[in-house]
Amino acid sequence: MLLTDVVRALELTVADTALLVISGVIIALFGVTILFSVYAVALRYRHEQRDRLWADLRARWEGPLLDAIADPAAIPTVQSLVDEEHRLYFVNFVLEFSRRMRGGELAVLRTVVAPFLEEIGRRASHPNSQVRTRAMQTLGTLGLPAYEKHVLAGLDDPSPLVSFVAARYLARAEFPQYGRAVLDSVSRFDGANFRFLASMLASIGPTISPELRARLADSERPEWERAVIAEALMMQREPRAGDVAAEVLGQTEDRELSIRLLRLLGTVGRREHLEAIRARSTTDDVFVRAQALSAMGRLGDERDLPVLIAGMDDDSPWVALHAARGIREAGGRGVLFELAQTELGYAALAGQVLYEEPEP
């Protein structure tokens, strides 16, 4: 409206009007970019100030903190060096330090930082999800079990990132009491990578294994969740998971779950599970077939070699590769050596697998 009035009052032509509009946009763009530049200079100034402060604080705290780790009697000394306004800096300093510490040393750090965590506890319910995430990380590393209520509440946070970080810090062997809560929260992370989730569950330690086995057997649970659990059991090398894996393998048609079960059986299975595995060695799915041959190799013996040798001629290079590795695992190095000397199409594959280091 204002522009129309201006155009009418000044009796501007179309070209002048266009120029006026464009000039307005240019001035606006210019203004924003100038703000950016001023912001850059201000940021540089602020960063340099903060870096100087950090360097001073580090120099003040590092020696006494190392003394406290060596002798816990020195804990009050290091705590007395923390001013009111630098409490958060101190928590961040200890958090950074804690990444290099384990066991008793970490326990000392938790004691040192305990009086300063109250503010972090308040930040666990901050409106900004990134601040809450950081609070979960800090409390999860330095504040358990005192702040367990805050971190456990983080599992139900509306932000997936906050709940994810909370779960990662609760999933630790030193705090087995939180294992079940973490396991219950897994259904929230259905978009995450299998391996990532499985690794998190495995890190809870052996106390969670019976619950993992029970949930793997529970056909009411989503198949992707059971696949994650199977992978976690494989990472834990849980020896009692073989029976339930073989049983579930006989019931499921789900591709991902079948693959994870076969990987699990290949790691912890026994010879009596071979029948369930063999049944999958002729399936149409390339990756299920490959895992089946791999598991057969690990559990089988010379009697399984003909199937594995035939697998080396499979149309899929993945099946052939797993079959060849299976032969090696089944004690067929001699067979591979002989195959490598032939003119057969898979002679090179035999040579490659002989040369490889066996998987751990």
CB 320 within 8 A of CB 297: no
Nearer to another protein, 9 or 25 (CB): 25
Nearer to another protein, 139 or 276 (CB): 139
* Block residue for tokens 């019976």: 210
For residue 246, how far is the Cα from the chain centroid? Answer: 27
Q: Least distance to another protein from the beta carbon of 247, Å?
A: 26
| CA atoms within 13 A of residue 95's CA, in its CB half-sphere | 19
10 binds another protein (CB under 8 A): no
102 binds another protein (CB under 8 A): no
Burial letters 207-245, b for 16+ CB under 10 A, else e: ebbebbbebbbeeeeebbbbbbbbbbbbbbebeebbebb
Length of the chain: 360
| Contact with another protein (CB under 8 A) among 108, 276, 295, 321 | 321
Site for another protein in 105-164 (CB under 8 A): 130-131, 133-134, 136-137, 161, 164
Q: Is 328 exposed, middle or buried (0-12, 13-18, 19+ CB in 10 A)?
A: buried
Return d(Cα 162, Cα 71) in angstroms, integer: 35
| Contact with another protein (CB under 8 A) among 10, 34, 70, 88 | 34
Which residue, 263, 181, 187, is CA-closest to 225?
A: 187
23 binds another protein (CB under 8 A): yes
Return d(Cα 45, Cα 121) in angstroms, integer: 31
Nearer to another protein, 276 or 290 (CB): 290
Number of residues that bind another protein (CB under 8 A): 54
Return d(Cα 26, Cα 78) in angstroms, integer: 56
Site pattern 190..229 for another protein (x: CB under 8 A): -xxxxxx-xxx-xx--------------------------
252 binds another protein (CB under 8 A): no
Which residue, 263, 227, 215, is CA-closest to 242?
A: 263
| Contact with another protein (CB under 8 A) among 33, 207, 219, 342 | 33
Q: Least distance to another protein from the beta carbon of 88, Å?
A: 12
Q: Least distance to another protein from the beta carbon of 45, Å?
A: 10
| Contact with another protein (CB under 8 A) among 1, 8, 11, 36 | 36
Q: Which residues contact 180 (CB under 8 A, 6 or more apart)?
A: 208, 211
Q: Least distance to another protein from the beta carbon of 177, Å?
A: 21
9 binds another protein (CB under 8 A): no
3 binds another protein (CB under 8 A): no
**What would the two tokens of residue 268 be?**
């912890």
Part in contact with another protein (CB under 8 A); list of ranges 23-31, 52-60, 109-117, 142-150:
23-31
235 binds another protein (CB under 8 A): yes
CB 230 within 8 A of CB 201: no
State the residues that interact with another protein by CB under 8 A. 15-16, 18-19, 22-23, 25-26, 29-30, 32-34, 36-37, 39-41, 43-44, 47, 99, 130-131, 133-134, 136-137, 161, 164-165, 191-196, 198-200, 202-203, 235, 317-318, 320-321, 346, 348-349, 351-352, 355, 357
